[in-house]
Structure 1
Amino acid sequence: MDEQDSLLLIEDGVYWALPAYSDQLASIPGRVFALEADIRSRGVGNSTLECIDDSGFVQLCVSHHKVVSWF
């Protein structure tokens, strides 16, 4: 991942927003986002990540040349 890349945490991936993983997330180059609905549904309330909604998810997809997803 490079500085111009973005990482969106979705589904159970939002658990990386927990304080125990803050050092690992801080070392990632680029921007890191979390899907707001997944943050709320899993009770990960004190996230310091930028939360986005579904339309923000779509905007990230169309604003980047390549999209890679792992489920």
Structure 2
Amino acid sequence: MADQADNRAPYAQIAAHYAALITSGDLQPGSLLPSIKTLSQEWSVSTATAEKALRKLRNEGLVRGIHGIGTEV
């Protein structure tokens, strides 16, 4: 669930969480991130918010979307 005490928008919190996992090496290249549906359920956000978080990670060059597969580190 998004942290209410965190002033960032929920999509930014999700993106920051996964960016930290990627940059720390906890998520290795080739790893798949959870689906939009899974992210929305785990973080209690809309699917649009989850998609925005993944888009932010793609724009930062941390992940890439693979059609029919998902989002890969």
TM-score computed with the length of structure 1 as normaliser: 0.29
Structure number with the higher helix fraction is: 2
Q: Which has the higher contact order (CA 8 A, sep 6+)?
A: 2
Structure number with the higher strand fraction is: 1
TM-score computed with the length of structure 2 as normaliser: 0.28
